[in-house]
Amino acid sequence: MVCEFYPMIERLSCGDWFTSRSAACSLISVVYPRVSKASRAHLREILQKLAM
């Protein structure tokens, strides 16, 4: 599951439309508890970028 969701989050976070970016935010909460600490740090960076 994580192998599929993690790349999807990265793709959605770079989308032009707000719907793809908001979907990425929702998926982060699903994937975050299941990934390594390094991946969590990267997910936090994505989330910070999306929050701006």
Show the domain range for 17. Answer: 2-51
Contact 43, 28 (CB under 8 A): yes
pLDDT of 33: 93
Q: How far apart are the first and last CA of the chain?
A: 28
Contact 12, 24 (CB under 8 A): yes
Q: What is this structure's pTM?
A: 0.82
11-21 pLDDT, tens digit each? 999 999 999 99
- Number of domains composing the chain: 1
5-50 pLDDT, tens digit each? 889 999 999 999 999 999 999 999 999 999 999 999 999 999 999 9
